[in-house]
């Protein structure tokens, strides 16, 4: 089925006879595969008598060969459909089949996750679903500010591909004009006091232009740029930026990029509400500390907050 999709990905008409000849199957078999594409991948195929078939929305499939040459020498694992790239990264590590560090990407996730257990909408071959697995020596203290550093890397990759209006929102989101374009989810396994492993999960809205199931304002690279974006090029840029920022974080800590992060923070100086369960704390964003914790001015007193279950909202956001 993917061989057929590769032939159709340009969005142009292809006759059933030509498709069958290339694939070595009958026109009837081509028709059956087209129906499977629509049913299983949620793609819309347009057929016109005398002209053939085309995808209503052209796409660019992931190509493993284009992803192998990266600065970190990270091995790519490319899947058509999996439950979650984060979950698959941990499974590959536990099975011993993958040499660390490595990254996992997929055309589609069936159980993608965001922060606080939220679903990450994952349409087929439209967005980036990416997970990088690292071994961490010296315990979880080495992870201070890591998600914020990853945010800077993602932002730099989006800049490189033309989305220059993107900024950061503490702790793990990237926004354009108040709309979410990317998110980060870090998960850890192992001994937090010694050797552990962390998977850096990154989701980017790349070519998505319709998703009614997303429960918050969102945009995509395609919406911002007005053109189809090659996800392979995005992954290569992301790998280069991650390699650069992670090396700096490992050598010098988060404090080395703290000023850069604050300069990119969209809500710097804004009045916000910090939500933790049923508790709400109102304050003004002062920035972040040397470990990446949020600094808030609350009733005239500076306080610091960190943790994966916290959510930040603008005070004037209805």
In this structure, are residues 281 and 273 in contact, taking their beta carbons and an 8 Å threshold?
Answer: yes
Q: Identify the active-site residue in 91, 291, 303, 313.
A: 313
- Residue 257 buriedness (CB in 10 A; 0-12 / 13-18 / 19+): buried
- Residue that the structure tokens 């002062």 belong to: 286
**Which phi and psi (to 5°) does residue 315 adopt?**
-65, -30
Q: Is 115 a catalytic residue?
A: yes
Q: Identify the active-site residue in 180, 222, 231, 258.
A: 180
Which is nearest to 121 in space by CA: 262, 229, 220? 220
Q: Identify the active-site residue in 54, 115, 231, 258.
A: 115
Residue 195 has which token pair? 């050797």
The Cα–Cα gap between 308 and 185 comes to: 9
Q: Is 108 a catalytic residue?
A: no
Q: Is 49 a catalytic residue?
A: no
CB contact set of 50 (below 8 Å; sequence gap of 6+)? none
Cα separation values, 296 from 38, 195, 275, Å: 49, 33, 13
- Is the C-alpha dihedral spanning 178, 256, 241, 138 positive or negative? negative
Active site residues: 115, 180, 313
């Amino acid at each position: 089925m993917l061989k057929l999709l590769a032939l159709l990905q340009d969005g142009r008409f292809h006759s059933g006879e030509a498709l069958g000849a290339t694939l070595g199957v009958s026109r009837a078999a081509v028709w059956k595969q087209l129906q499977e594409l629509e049913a299983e991948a949620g793609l819309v195929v347009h057929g016109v008598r005398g002209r053939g078939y085309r995808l209503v929305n052209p796409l660019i499939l992931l190509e493993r060969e284009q992803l192998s040459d990266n600065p970190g020498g990270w091995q790519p694992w490319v899947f058509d459909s999996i439950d979650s790239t984060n979950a698959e990264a941990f499974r590959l590590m536990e099975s011993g089949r993958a040499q660390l560090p490595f990254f996992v990407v997929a055309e589609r996730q069936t159980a993608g996750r965001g922060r606080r257990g939220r679903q990450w909408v994952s349409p087929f071959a439209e967005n980036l679903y990416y997970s990088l697995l690292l071994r961490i020596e010296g315990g979880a203290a080495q992870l201070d500010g890591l998600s914020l550093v990853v945010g800077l890397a993602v932002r730099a990759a989006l800049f490189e591909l033309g989305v220059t209006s993107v900024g950061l929102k503490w702790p793990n989101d990237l926004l354009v004009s108040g709309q979410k374009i990317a998110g980060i989810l870090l998960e850890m396994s192992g001994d937090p006091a010694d050797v552990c492993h962390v998977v850096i999960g990154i989701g980017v809205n790349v070519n998505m232009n319709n998703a009614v199931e997303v429960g918050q304002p969102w945009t995509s690279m395609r919406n911002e740029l007005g053109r189809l974006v090659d996800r392979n090029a995005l992954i290569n840029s992301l790998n280069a930026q991650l390699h650069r920022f992670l090396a700096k974080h490992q050598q010098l800590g988060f404090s080395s990029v703290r000023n850069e992060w604050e300069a990119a923070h969209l809500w710097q100086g804004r009045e916000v509400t910090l939500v933790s369960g049923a508790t709400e704390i109102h304050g003004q964003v002062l920035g972040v500390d040397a470990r990446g914790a949020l600094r808030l001015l609350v009733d005239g007193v500076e306080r610091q907050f960190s943790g994966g279950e916290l959510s930040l909202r603008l005070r004037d956001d209805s």
